[in-house]
Chains A and B, each alone.
Chain A
Amino acid sequence: MTESTLLELRRGAIILAVLSQLGEAHYGYSLRQHLAEIGFDINEGTLYPLLRRLESQGLLESSWDDGDGRRRRYYRISPAGKEVLGALIHEWRALVEVMNRALIDFE
């Protein structure tokens, strides 16, 4: 399987993963670490621009903070993002169920 096919498969899931973890504020690096800890590795070139795009779509809110001696931009899910997250979770669960049925012969 080529890398681009894998990336294509993961593309939609990345947004869901990111939105689901931003109930509490994270800056880019800490979010990446956090996602890696739960088993979702995203490279920097994908995650950081994605945060900016989600913010420009109104799904995230951001603010700068000088804590820990370094100025960082923290992201948190917005009310609109929460609504989208709910719909995405619903869709994801339905999709997983369907795909499990579709792939039952491959187990």
Chain B
Amino acid sequence: MELVERYVYAVGRHLPRKMRADVEPELHSLLLDSVESRSEESGQPATDELIAEVLKEFGPPRKMATSYMPQPQYVVGPQLFPVYLLVLTIVACVLAAMQAFGFMVAVAGVPLFSAEAGRLFGSGLLNLGASLLSAIGSITLTFYILERVIPHASLEEDVEWDPTKLPASVRVNDRISVPGQVVTICIMLGLLILFNFFPQVIGVYNYSNGEWTFSPMLAPTFRHFMPWFNVAWLGTLAMSVWLLVRGRWEPAMRWADLAREIFSAIVLLMVATGPSLVGAGAGISANDLIQALGNAAEAVATGVDMSIRTACGIAFVVVCVGALAKLLQLVRAPGKPLVEFKRQ
């Protein structure tokens, strides 16, 4: 009967300690009953082979132990899981956006297809992976604790719910992406804080002869653009907050968003065609850049300036096309989108 003892022990290992003393003797007794009965039926002694046959019918120890548990064991149960998933998505999006923003700032003074840019990209990806793992771990741990602390009854939906108080259904084209809006808010806040309070950290970082050197990159002319940038960023921020509060697109919001996009297009056009915001010729001391980057300073400054102008030019076209599409949609039939996504 050694196999029986081993099976009972194996089941007990998968049970909480306080349940073992109760379940193990009963399981032991039940197994002996089954083995004895099987032995009588077959007219054979209780060999290991016969015992193994009985044990197989009882099932794997872990499965048997799970059947004894009072309720399914979850890290995060079905009631909290949707919230858990939402938080994970938002945090992952925010981290990715922050990392992308950090990468863009770091790579601003580096040639795009250089080894340094590749190194920055690789280290950015590694950082993102590490921060994602850390965030997932922390969030899962938090929800694991919540799952055990919050009484399950309080998570149940109200039994006395009133169907007439259900929120109005939202057309597919009027729905918003909550994680997307949260990411937008984070990016806009980041831009506002960085460019208004820490413009001095934006510049060219260079490592040579065992020490880091830094040269600020924003030209004094940049200050003249700041009010325009601030209005554009604040407008985008306010739009996202408004969408989050209302939970859907509404006609007034579409007009406001169109106005915001037109304003953004104007700002982009100003940047693309106006005075240079960076580079030695635009106010940065040439000596600083030469000290930081050697003879390539002028070329880098010009390259960064051209990159910004090109990016703004492309963004201008994209924003204009988007704004035009929105305008057509609003003028043609306010309630009808240009493209209707239908559910299958």
Known: A44-B58, A45-B59, A45-B64. A71 touches B29 (CB 8 A): yes
The count of residues in chain B whose C-beta lies closer than 8 Å to any C-beta of chain A is: 18
Known: A45-B67, A52-B68, A56-B70. A29 touches B33 (CB 8 A): yes
Chain B interface mostly helix, strand, loop or mixed? helix
Q: Which of B16-36 contact A (CB under 8 A)?
A: 23, 25-27, 29-30, 32-34
Contacts of B26 in A (CB 8 A): 28, 48, 72-73
Tell me the complex Cα distance, A48–B29, Å.
Answer: 11
Tell me the complex Cα distance, A43–B33, Å.
Answer: 14
A12 within 8 A of B: no
Q: Chain B residue with minimal CB distance to A72? A: B29
Q: Chain B residue with minimal CB distance to A56? A: B70
* Contact in complex: B57, A43 (CB < 8 Å): yes
A86 within 8 A of B: no
Contacts of A10 in B (CB 8 A): none
Known: A29-B37, A56-B70, A70-B33. A48 touches B27 (CB 8 A): yes
Q: Which of B64-89 contact A (CB under 8 A)?
A: 64, 67-68, 70
Chain A interface mostly helix, strand, loop or mixed? helix
Contacts of B25 in A (CB 8 A): 71, 73
A53 within 8 A of B: yes
The count of residues in chain A whose C-beta lies closer than 8 Å to any C-beta of chain B is: 19
Contacts of B63 in A (CB 8 A): 45
Contacts of B33 in A (CB 8 A): 27-30, 70, 72
Min CB–CB distance B315 → chain A (angstroms)? 54
Q: Mark A69-83, 1 if CB is under 8 A from B, else 0.
A: 011110000000000
* Contact in complex: B30, A29 (CB < 8 Å): yes
Tell me the complex Cα distance, A15–B282, Å.
Answer: 83
Min CB–CB distance B35 → chain A (angstroms)? 10
Tell me the complex Cα distance, A56–B58, Å.
Answer: 22
Contacts of B29 in A (CB 8 A): 27-28, 70-73
* Contact in complex: B30, A53 (CB < 8 Å): no
Q: Chain B residue with minimal CB distance to A30? A: B33
* Contact in complex: A70, B32 (CB < 8 Å): yes
A5 within 8 A of B: no
Contacts of A58 in B (CB 8 A): none
Tell me the complex Cα distance, A51–B59, Å.
Answer: 17
Contacts of B64 in A (CB 8 A): 45, 49
Q: Mark A38-58, 1 if CB is under 8 A from B, else 0.
A: 000001111011101100100
Q: Which of A3-51 contact B (CB under 8 A)?
A: 27-30, 33, 43-46, 48-50
10 A-B residue pairs with Cβ-Cβ distance under 8 Å, sorted by A, are A29-B34, A44-B58, A45-B63, A45-B64, A45-B67, A49-B64, A49-B68, A52-B68, A56-B70, A70-B29
Interface residues of B (CB under 8 A from A): 23, 25-27, 29-30, 32-34, 37, 57-59, 63-64, 67-68, 70
8 pairs of A and B residues whose beta carbons are closest in the complex: A29-B33, A49-B67, A45-B59, A49-B68, A28-B30, A73-B26, A44-B58, A72-B29
Interface residues of A (CB under 8 A from B): 27-30, 33, 43-46, 48-50, 52-53, 56, 70-73
